[in-house]
Amino acid sequence: MLKFWLRSISVGLLAAAIIIASVPSLRAHVFHKSEDTAADMGTVQLSFNQAVHRAAPAVVNIYSRQYDRNNHKKLSTQGLGSGVIVSKKGYIITNYHVIAQADQIIVALQDGRVAAAQLVGKDKRTDLAVLRIEGSNLPVIPLNPNYQPKVGDVVLAIGNPYNLGQTTTFGIISATGRSSISAGRRQAFIQTDAAINEGNSGGALVNSRGELVGINTASFQQATDIETYGISFAIPFSLANTIMDKIIADGRVIRGYIGVDGEDMNAMTSRLLDGEHIGGILVIGIDPNGPAHKAGLHANDIILKIDGKKISGRQSVMETITNLRPGTRVNITILRKGKEMDLPVTIAEDTRS
């Protein structure tokens, strides 16, 4: 059988060679196509030039200046970072830690313009701040509220590392929903392997279309001699945009609060409840002075819904509650000893720093 197949293949190849050799026009066509294909492959290159071209003009350098302790008339630059122009009105999102100690904030655009920035507001908990500059024809970074970051998406980090000037680094989204990367910051972060160094803070993380994905905020640091590469974090644009809107509206971030600490239902707990309450959270602590305690919530209750809408984990509850205005009344559906019940809760303001 093997000899039969080898003989058939040999005959076919010989026939093809004879036909090509005897028909010059066909021979020229075949070899011409091969050369064209090789030439085309040689010129193909992967480039994100268009994405950078769309996004980079809206990424600014930020310099924080402080008065000299011995001479209150003298200002000196004490810090540097980056920011992103997100509105034609001149609003800029950056990190809180970039401007935390600033007496004066200077913004340098990529087209050479320099402007003093007004601090609109700041939020230490999310490490975000909103600035505003005056100017005409300000570049605005492309925004796409419908974009959802996914693991494996190509991203570019644009900023001003070490005051070298605007720099773009390349990577992918390594994870989403990362939390507790530093004390007091529990929001979900985007993890990326694009390099984010000192001075990149507050800069833009964009996708392959140049659309804003997040605000670069931190690199992972270990308290050891082991150097860590490829682990950096960004605040998702959706959160940054929400915080900006709150700051512009109120001058600060007003958060709702009910005084509950909970943990996600694990697979075993869910199976004990016939798998009907996946996404709920188990209440493990209650603030004795908070609205939840006053409404009658107890430890070991399972929160299932808020105003009739099913929740999907602890992060979902945090986001829902914090986005509610103090004074708002909501119905929280809980499961207690196998029985569902609704408890009306009046949202208070979260005054924790």
* 254-299 residue pLDDT tens: 999 999 888 877 655 555 555 566 678 888 889 999 999 999 999 9
Q: Which of 64, 97, 277, 350 is catalytic?
A: 97
The predicted model scores a pTM of 0.76
| Secondary structure of residue 271 in the 3-state scheme | helix
Q: Which CATH architecture has domain 256-349?
A: Roll (2.30)
201 is an active site residue? yes
**97 has catalytic annotation:** yes
What is the predicted pLDDT for the residue at 115? 94
Q: Does the pLDDT of residue 144 top 80, yes or no?
A: yes
* CA neighbor of 282 nearest in space, from 301, 297, 304, 309: 301
Q: What is the pLDDT of residue 27?
A: 46
Q: Which of 31-45, 59-73, 101-115, 302-316 has the highest average model confidence (pLDDT)? A: 101-115
pLDDT at residue 230 in the model: 66
Retrieve residue 237's tokens.
């644009």
pLDDT of residue 338: 81
Q: What is the pLDDT of residue 219?
A: 65
The mean pLDDT of 302-323, rounded to a whole number, is 85
Q: Give the contacts of 83 (CB within 8 A, at least 6 positions apart).
A: 59, 60, 61, 62, 92, 93, 94, 98, 107, 131, 202, 203
Residue 232: phi, psi to the nearest 5? -130, 165
Q: How far is CA 120 from the centre of its chain?
A: 22
Query: Catalytic pick from 123, 127, 301, 350?
Result: 127
Q: Which of 113, 118, 64 is nearest to 91 (CA)?
A: 118
Q: Which CATH architecture has domain 154-250?
A: Beta Barrel (2.40)
Task: Out of 64, 82, 174, 201, pick the active-site residue.
Answer: 201
Residue 92 has pLDDT above 50, yes or no: yes
Angle of the 24-43 helix axis to the 2-22 helix axis, nearest 10:
100
CATH 2.40.10.10 domain position(s) in the chain: 52-132, 154-250
Amino acid letter at 213?
V
CATH architecture of 52-132: Beta Barrel (2.40)
Stretch(es) of the chain classified as CATH 2.30.42.10: 256-349
Say which residue, 223 or 16, is predicted with more confidence. Answer: 16
Q: Above 60 in pLDDT, residue 253?
A: yes
- Percent of all residues in the chain with a pLDDT value above 70, rounded to a whole number: 76
